[in-house]
Structure 1
Amino acid sequence: MRTSKMKISLALVSCILLVCVVNAEDAVVEEVTDSSSEKVFSPVEEVKYVSPEPDGDVYLAEYFDNPEAIGTKWVKSQAKKEGTDESLAKYDGQWAIEPASKEPIPGDLGLVMKSKAKHAAISCPLEKPFHFTDKPLIVQYDVTLQNGQECGGAYLKLLQYDKEMRLSQFTDKTPYTILFGPDKCGNDNKLHFIFQHKNPKNDNFEEKHAKKPSTKLDEYFSDKKPHLYRLQVYPDNTFDVSVDYKIINKGSLLKDMVPPVNPLSADPAAVKPEDWDEDAPEQVIDENAVKPSGWLEDEEIMIPDPTAVMPDDWDEEMDGIWEAPLIENPACESAPGCGKWTPPMIPNPEFKGKWRAPLIDNPNYRGKWRPKDYYFDPNPFHMFSIVCFLLSFFFLF
């Protein structure tokens, strides 16, 4: 296993977002020509980092320019995660504020998670609480997975107000309003947007997850480059998620969350179209496919290993007839294929699957009966106020 590192700068604002990130790529090389018409290049002045000055209604702006911020402004969790093996339960991952490991800019520092296979959480209070009223919430942070990422999370949580909350005792059970950021294990690449919706009748909270984006996320976890993750949530109950200013997910808090804020039912007025064939297969044989030249139909893909020898202690009466183990047929290595050729399958343009009526808000929904528990929430943007910003990471390798 190798240590995964993360360099982060972040800002949380209500309506105007200002983040200044200086990159080495921003340096400009000016081309000039001397008297001999040969191309020469003027020297480039060294890029020096200057800490941005945020503007607007800012609730938190942090650029990690001060190495002393850990333990003062930023508080590390020292708690234990319940129901986890003792060796992994402690939030004892180590943090540092230091330059990037590759191509650092003088004076530009970042928060780096230094530990592997450790839970790590660090947080600080906002300048003032953010209330979900008539202003959009905009939160963004810059993440560099300096050694790539195979398994682990690098997301943030915006914490709810709790009079008993102690940041040094943060755990995964600490109440939050929004969870946002990248998470990966194996081939499962995610960019979470989750918010806690409060049932207005019984005050219970339930997680609502944004539907998974269709955009491929692989490169963000593997290219070892900085990426700017941004979430915007608006008073009209819409949201969008972007990476490097490219929107990769957007939708409605009312229509595009799982499970939905308000339960749905099949539209009773919907009618299956006459041309809807439920029996059409999902894939069909590609009628235009042609067997590749040189395909060896008389050769098996796997053959008995000609070098294998029956073990001396093999007893055919007890162990059965001995057969050599199979190996890949060497004759197939240079051929386009072996064995009986069959045309490949392609998606069936006529496939529609089983028809189902589209879902609409169920006017008769009551759910599991509880006294006076029915509700319909038309404005889920009115979430629980945010008072704290927390970065919560866990890297396996």
Structure 2
Amino acid sequence: MINLYRWIVSEAKKDGADADIAKYDGQWEVEGTKKLINRGDLGLVMKSRAKHSAISTMLDQPFVFDTKPFIVQYEVQFQDFQECGGAYIKLLSASDKLKLEELHDKTPYTIMFGPDKCGEEKKLHFIFRHQNPVTNEFEEKHAKKPDVDIGKFFDDKTHLYKLAIFPDNTFKIFVDGELVNSGSLLEDFQPPVNPPEEIDDPDDKKPDEWDDREKIDDSDARKPDDWDEDEPMEIPDPAAVKPESWLDDEQQYIADPTAKKPDDWDAEMDGEWEPPLIDNPKCKESGCGEWKPPKIHNPKFKGKWIAPKIENPNYQGEWKPKKIKNPNYFNDEHPFTMTSIAALGFEIWSISPDICFDNILITSDEAAAEKGSFLSRFAEAAEEKPWLWVVYGIGLTVPFAILGYLCFPKKRDEAAERKRTDAPSPDDPQSSRRDKEEEESKETEKKKVPERK
């Protein structure tokens, strides 16, 4: 048993397949992608081409479908594009018989979700296994086709697939944050969760005398006397005239006069050598060989005569068998309560190798899923346009800088401000002394000035 971190590679064999292709011998690695080998971000990569590959891991705790939503999302990157094969995830049903090292195509699962492609056929699966409460047997229910063209998601870029199922029996599917499908577990799956109350009676047979012909041939109609069924659809154009320059004795094709027999031609092995034929250059202007007038539509052509149709006076309508009560009828109003999930895995076959799976999340917390989706789209955009890291950095730095400026304003230097404005400081002893000396000097000057008479 191979263990990649917490992932267990299957060693099972596929039922009903030839021995040389039945074994699950596809290789798996935990490594970086080809485009971003130095980024340090590792993913689970299916390495093999045209092999059955299966790998799985247990959940930390089983997911129980009760009153909370179920959300699963994961990233897929077809590093070498995708020719034919799947990249869907299987959410394995909780069971005492579950053995991850024996994961194969018949291992019971609760939900299968993800992309699949072969040639021009492209799918986005959402399948859940529903248990019939009458027979206790499980049946696969397939969601309706997506509402948008999903072909654009099968390139070599990373795409985030997300499935959300809610306790009110509704579901939504997103790819890269774009809503591509939504609906009801009760109304948008085939076959339907709940069977019809009535079914056709299998023992009811159409009577031999039942006439379901809506129209019949008019028995009173007669073919007109001048109707000639032998007239051809086209006839030679009687107005056509052979061109005067037409060369009756020339062949349309002639032997290539420039062709030479190969030196290694063996007449005994290859037969008598003959030069290849080319168009006769003499025939370019008008034509060569036997001249035949062109064909035109025959105005007398009518084809085979068919009697006209009339209403059938004995028409009884389309026969349908009578209805009886369905012995297997049931009404499950809560298909959301599916079998608990104990593990997740990938059981796939693909022509294209190097399919990378990453950032797998199973949760009932819509906010956590949305956060994961945002971070995934953030990283994907930066992978495609590295200069966006600079934009993101500036976008994150500027708000914090403004917040810091508002919360922690710069302390003003009061001394520098007084120096700039020459304003005195009441607590400065030198300033107080200087002010006192100036006052005494002014009083002395006043005494020296004599009074005018």
Interval containing the TM-score (normalised by the shorter chain) = 0.5 to 0.7
Asked whether the 8 Å contact 1:178–1:193 carries over to 2, the reply is yes
Which of 90, 96, 112 is equivalent to 2:23?
Answer: 90
1:381 counterpart letter in structure 2: F
Asked whether the 8 Å contact 1:129–1:385 carries over to 2, the reply is yes
Structure-1 residue corresponding to 2:111: 178
Structure-2 residue corresponding to 1:99: 32
Structure-1 residue corresponding to 2:63: 130
* 2:153 partner SS: helix
TM-score, normalised on structure 2?
A: 0.49
TM-score, normalised on structure 1?
A: 0.55
1:172 counterpart letter in structure 2: D
In the superposition, relative to structure 1, how do residues 72 and 103 fare at CA in structure 2: closer, same or farther (>3 Å)?
A: closer
Distance 1:263 1:186 in 2: 34
Identity value in percent: 51
Give deviations 1:272-325, integer Å, cap 9, x for gaps: xxxxxxxxxxxxxxxxxxxxxxxxxxxxxxxxxx8799xxxxxxxxxxxxxx9x
Distance 1:308 1:163 in 2: 82
Structure-2 residue corresponding to 1:392: 347
Asked whether the 8 Å contact 1:196–1:208 carries over to 2, the reply is yes
Asked whether the 8 Å contact 2:93–2:340 carries over to 1, the reply is yes
Structure 1 position 257 matched with structure 2 position 189: yes
* 1:133 partner SS: coil
Q: CA deviation at 1:155?
A: 0.7
2:95 counterpart letter in structure 1: D
Asked whether the 8 Å contact 2:196–2:329 carries over to 1, the reply is no
Asked whether the 8 Å contact 1:176–1:196 carries over to 2, the reply is yes
Q: How does 1:218-367 map to 2 (within 5 A)?
A: 218-221=151-154, 223-264=155-196, 366-367=325-326
* 1:88 partner SS: helix
Asked whether the 8 Å contact 2:11–2:25 carries over to 1, the reply is yes
Q: CA deviation at 1:148?
A: 0.1
> Which is richer in strand?
1
Structure-1 residue corresponding to 2:127: 194
Structure-2 residue corresponding to 1:291: none
In the superposition, relative to structure 1, how do residues 265 and 199 fare at CA in structure 2: closer, same or farther (>3 Å)?
A: closer
Q: How does 1:117-156 map to 2 (within 5 A)?
A: 117-156=50-89
Which of 308, 325, 329 is equivalent to 1:374?
Answer: 329
* 1:251 partner SS: strand
Structure 1: stretches of 5+ with no match in the other structure: 1-68, 267-305, 310-323, 325-363
Q: CA deviation at 1:161?
A: 1.5
1:244 counterpart letter in structure 2: D
Give deviations 1:89-112, integer Å, cap 9, x for gaps: 111100011111013452111111
* 1:236 partner SS: coil
2:49 counterpart letter in structure 1: K
2:333 counterpart letter in structure 1: P
In the superposition, relative to structure 1, how do residues 167 and 108 fare at CA in structure 2: closer, same or farther (>3 Å)?
A: same
2:21 counterpart letter in structure 1: L
Distance 2:254 2:109 in 1: 62
Q: CA deviation at 1:168?
A: 0.4
Distance 1:159 1:307 in 2: 71
Structure-2 residue corresponding to 1:313: none
Asked whether the 8 Å contact 2:164–2:173 carries over to 1, the reply is yes
Distance 2:187 2:336 in 1: 13
Please tell me whether Structure 1 or Structure 2 has the larger radius of gyration of its CA atoms. Answer: 2
> Is the deviation greater in 97-106 or in 108-117?
97-106
Asked whether the 8 Å contact 1:160–1:176 carries over to 2, the reply is yes
Asked whether the 8 Å contact 1:88–1:117 carries over to 2, the reply is no
Q: CA deviation at 1:375?
A: 1.2
Q: CA deviation at 1:365?
A: 7.5
* 1:103 partner SS: coil
Which consecutive aligned stretches of 4+ in structure 1 deviate over 6 angstroms post-superposition?
Answer: 306-309
> Which is richer in helix?
2
Asked whether the 8 Å contact 2:82–2:351 carries over to 1, the reply is no
Q: CA deviation at 1:393?
A: 2.2
Q: How many residues align structurally?
A: 232
Give deviations 1:95-150, integer Å, cap 9, x for gaps: 01111101345211111110001111111111111111101100000011000001
Give deviations 1:323-368, integer Å, cap 9, x for gaps: x9xxxxxxxxxxxxxxxxxxxxxxxxxxxxxxxxxxxxxxx9743x
Higher relative contact order (CA 8 A, sep 6+): 2
Which of 130, 136, 140 is equivalent to 1:207?
Answer: 140
